[in-house]
């Protein structure tokens, strides 16, 4: 397997801002090591505050690690290209799309950053819009004229225009109905193949992660507590927390099972 | 026994002359959890709000009738309506944090509802929230969205209503906390003559929590089916697409 990302002993902590305990270190991520192969779809899950979002921000280079390293080995040369090989699909797409510009203009501009050839631009645009299922009519609309799901696909077209090698999906399925979830799931799988795109998907929804990812990482309290093939994780989970999480997802929890949560009362 | 009788609710948005809901009916029976599933923007929340006349009359026209224990809700005057919403039919909204006045500390809300500190603390600790001593000093903007959701549910329970209407209670909260909602909701529905109307997109939650489920699609509310029947009703045209999509994700 061709490695795209290699993370070694990654730590991330912040200084506490509170007046009472200045200088106290707040550890967000502890000793994370992880490899991501080219073309893989990997799922990251865990509850709020487990460090998932911090981890993807570090991978995307938005944050700098306190210690440890993240090696990103792109397949092609990115030196003279103005776009970034790592892209993130956020949740708040309505805030991201410029309300004054048509979607096709936004996408065209992004392609032009790395490709000046007019004919090729049109071919690329066609490929992108047809894979996200954007009709001629939708392409001419502005961000605010689209529904939530359409905005998400518009943001995805803009991302594909940058031809990234790694796409990070931050809770793409949250607050969506089943039919939209299924459409999105199929869309991500298609893009993964058509654009040779490696993907990291952060999601709460284990049911759908199971359908999307080949490998799953379970995080708890800033650490990776278990990782393995999707089949292993779901059929024979080893870690107690993973078992707990699976129980939660299926709504089979009893009140006594909540020992993992007691630290939250503080 | 029948608690709330909702008949032929039709909602239109006059500004756009758009039909939002066509002829929806529902009989809320005591000690049962009724659930409405449906797509984004299908009008689930609008329907729930219409039940106690919460929709702004400038933006919505509502037809139909709602009777709560024989009383015609749409005929109540504003004061009676407020009483009804305070004492009998409680909502827990999706964006709970916006249900609070951001400038009032949380003690204001708790002290309005109950003087029994031990009862309050018991519920707070059940939902893994800080105790009243700590929580009362906080402003709504100091708590997270998931906490606001829990506080809102605790407040609803403290007012001892007969009906609780929950709109997307599990969105934005961890699945462990969602399990707490499930357990408490079942407990509430089993007591006195209570009943629950649940609006959600979380199918697993609906399956575990509900006695009856209906699907809202194309402005129409389907029949309320028993939970086990609901997932097999392929012959109901309103449910076909949903069941097909759900099957793909479940299998």
Tell me: the pLDDT tens digits for B207-216?
Answer: 999 999 999 9
The verdict on a CB contact (< 8 Å) between B179 and A262 is no
The better pLDDT of the pair B200, B42 is held by B200
Q: Are strands B225-226 and A215-220 parallel, antiparallel or unpaired?
A: unpaired
The verdict on a CB contact (< 8 Å) between B208 and A251 is yes
Mean pLDDT of A9-15: 92
Among A80, A50, A59, CA closest to A224: A50
Convert the pLDDT of each residue in B76-89 to its tens digit.
Answer: 999 999 999 999 99
Tell me the chain B residues in contact with residue A179 when contact means C-beta distances shorter than 8 Å. 39, 241-242, 245
Q: pLDDT at residue A71 above 80? A: yes
Per-residue DSSP letter, B231: T
Please, what is the average pLDDT of chain A? Answer: 88
Between CA A67 and CA A185 the distance in angstroms is 35
The verdict on a CB contact (< 8 Å) between A248 and B242 is no
Q: pLDDT at residue B115 above 70? A: yes
pLDDT confidence of residue A18: 64
Q: pLDDT at residue A83 above 80? A: no
The better pLDDT of the pair B189, A258 is held by B189
Residues of chain A that touch chain B, judged by Cβ-Cβ distance less than 8 Å = 47-48, 147-149, 174-182, 185, 204, 207-208, 211, 244-245, 248-251, 253, 255, 258, 260-262, 264-265
- 3-state class (DSSP) for residue B234: coil
Mean pLDDT of B118-129: 93
* Non-local CB neighbours of B174 within 8 Å, separated by 6+ positions: A47, A48, A204, A248, B146
pLDDT confidence of residue B66: 96
Between CA A149 and CA A203 the distance in angstroms is 17
> How many residue contacts between A and B have a Cβ separation below 8 Å?
83
The alpha carbon of residue B52 is apart from the nearest alpha carbon of chain A, in Å, by 25
Using alpha carbons, list the distances in angstroms from residue B193 to A200, B1, B28, B32.
48, 8, 11, 9
Nearest to B183 among A176, A180, A255 (CB): A255
Q: pLDDT at residue A212 above 90? A: yes
Mean pLDDT of A58-85: 86
pLDDT confidence of residue B94: 85
Percent of chain B with pLDDT over 70: 100
Convert the pLDDT of each residue in A19-52 to its tens digit.
Answer: 666 667 889 999 999 999 999 999 999 988 889 9
3-state secondary structure string across A195-216: CCCEEEEECCCHHHHHHHCCEE
pLDDT confidence of residue A262: 57
Please, what is the average pLDDT of chain B? Answer: 92
Using alpha carbons, list the distances in angstroms from residue A22 to A15, A17, A18, A28, B218.
7, 6, 6, 17, 56
The verdict on a CB contact (< 8 Å) between B245 and A179 is yes
Nearest to B249 among A204, A207, A244 (CB): A207
Between CA B26 and CA A116 the distance in angstroms is 60
Between CA A214 and CA B189 the distance in angstroms is 41
The verdict on a CB contact (< 8 Å) between B180 and A264 is no
Convert the pLDDT of each residue in A153-169 to its tens digit.
Answer: 999 999 999 999 999 99
Kindly indicate the confidence band of residue B53, based on its pLDDT and cuts at 50, 70 and 90: very high
* Non-local CB neighbours of B226 within 8 Å, separated by 6+ positions: B211, B212
Q: pLDDT at residue A259 above 70? A: yes
Per-residue DSSP letter, A258: G
Percent of chain A with pLDDT over 90: 58
Residue listed under structure tokens 């959600």: B200
Among A255, A214, A158, A203, CA closest to A52: A203
Which residue spans within chain B are E strands per DSSP?
Answer: 2-13, 18-29, 33-38, 61-68, 71-72, 89-92, 163-167, 195-200, 212-217, 220-221, 225-226
Among A205, A215, A159, A212, CA closest to A190: A212
Instruction: Look up residue B115 and give its two tokens.
Output: 């003087």
| Residues B57, B80 contacting (CB under 8 angstroms) | no
Half-sphere exposure of A249 (CA within 13 A, CB side): 19
pTM of the full predicted structure?
0.86
Kindly indicate the confidence band of residue A140, based on its pLDDT and cuts at 50, 70 and 90: very high
Q: pLDDT at residue B155 above 80? A: yes
pLDDT confidence of residue A265: 39
Tell me the chain B residues in contact with residue A211 when contact means C-beta distances shorter than 8 Å. 248-249
Mean pLDDT of B174-197: 94
Nearest to B175 among A208, A211, A249 (CB): A249
Nearest to A178 among B130, B176, B249 (CB): B249
Tell me the chain B residues in contact with residue A240 when contact means C-beta distances shorter than 8 Å. none
Kindly indicate the confidence band of residue A228, based on its pLDDT and cuts at 50, 70 and 90: very high
Kindly indicate the confidence band of residue B17, based on its pLDDT and cuts at 50, 70 and 90: confident
Mean pLDDT of B180-201: 95
C-beta contacts of B150-153 below 8 A and 24+ residues apart: B150/B177, B150/B180, B151/B96, B151/B106, B151/B109, B152/B92, B152/B93, B152/B96, B152/B99, B153/B92, B153/B127, B153/B181, B153/B184
pLDDT confidence of residue A266: 37
Residue from A18, A49, A50, A178 to probe the interface with B (highest B Cβ count within 10 Å): A178
| Residues A229, A215 contacting (CB under 8 angstroms) | yes
* Non-local CB neighbours of A170 within 8 Å, separated by 6+ positions: A53, A56, A88, A89, A90, A91, A202
pLDDT confidence of residue B70: 87
């Amino acid at each position: 397997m061709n490695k795209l990302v290699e993370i070694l002993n990654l730590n991330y902590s912040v200084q506490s801002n509170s007046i009472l305990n200045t200088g106290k270190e707040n550890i967000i991520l502890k000793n994370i090591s992880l490899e991501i192969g080219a073309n893989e779809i990997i799922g990251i899950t865990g509850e709020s505050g487990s460090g998932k979002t911090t981890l993807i921000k570090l991978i995307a280079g938005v944050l700098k690690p306190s210690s440890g390293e993240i090696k990103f080995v792109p397949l092609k040369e990115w030196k003279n290209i103005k776009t970034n090989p790592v892209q993130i699909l956020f949740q708040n797409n309505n805030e991201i799309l410029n309300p004054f510009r048509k979607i096709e203009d936004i996408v065209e501009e992004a392609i032009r950053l790395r490709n000046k050839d007019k004919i090729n631009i049109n071919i690329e645009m066609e490929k992108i819009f047809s894979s996200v299922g954007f009709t001629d009519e939708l392409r001419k609309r502005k961000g605010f004229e689209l529904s939530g799901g359409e905005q998400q696909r518009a943001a995805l077209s803009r991302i594909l225009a940058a031809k990234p090698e790694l796409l990070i999906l931050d809770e793409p399925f949250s607050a969506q109905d089943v039919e939209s979830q299924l459409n999105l799931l199929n869309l991500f799988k298609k893009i993964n193949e058509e654009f040779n795109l490696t993907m990291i998907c952060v999601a709460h929804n284990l049911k759908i992660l199971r359908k999307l990812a080949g490998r799953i990482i379970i995080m708890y309290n800033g650490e990776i507590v278990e990782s393995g093939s999707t089949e292993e994780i779901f059929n024979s989970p080893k870690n107690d927390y993973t078992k707990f999480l699976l129980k939660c997802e299926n709504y089979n929890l009893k009140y006594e099972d909540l020992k993992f949560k007691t630290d939250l009362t503080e | 026994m029948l608690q709330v009788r909702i008949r032929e609710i039709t909602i239109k948005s006059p500004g756009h002359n758009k039909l939002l809901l066509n002829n929806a009916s529902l009989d809320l029976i005591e000690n049962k959890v009724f659930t409405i599933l449906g797509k984004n923007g299908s009008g689930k929340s609008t329907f729930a709000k219409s039940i106690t006349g919460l929709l702004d009359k400038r933006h919505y026209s509502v037809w139909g009738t709602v009777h709560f224990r024989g009383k015609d809700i749409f005929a109540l005057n504003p004061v009676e309506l407020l009483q009804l919403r305070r004492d009998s039919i409680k909502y827990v909204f999706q964006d709970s944090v916006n249900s609070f006045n951001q400038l009032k500390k949380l003690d204001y809300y708790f002290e309005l509802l109950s003087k029994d500190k031990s009862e309050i603390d018991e519920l707070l600790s059940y939902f893994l929230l800080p105790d009243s001593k700590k929580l009362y000093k906080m402003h709504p903007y100091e708590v997270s969205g998931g906490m606001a959701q829990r506080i809102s549910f605790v407040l609803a329970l403290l007012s001892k209503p007969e009906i609780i209407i929950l709109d997307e209670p599990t969105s934005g909260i961890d699945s462990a906390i969602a399990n707490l909602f499930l357990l408490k909701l079942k407990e509430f529905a089993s007591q006195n003559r209570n009943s629950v109307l649940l609006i959600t997109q979380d199918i697993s939650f609906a399956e575990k929590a509900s006695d009856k489920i209906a699907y809202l699609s194309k402005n129409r509310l389907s029949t309320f089916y028993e939970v086990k029947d609901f997932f097999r009703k392929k012959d109901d045209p309103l449910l076909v697409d949903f069941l097909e999509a759900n099957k793909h994700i479940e299998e």
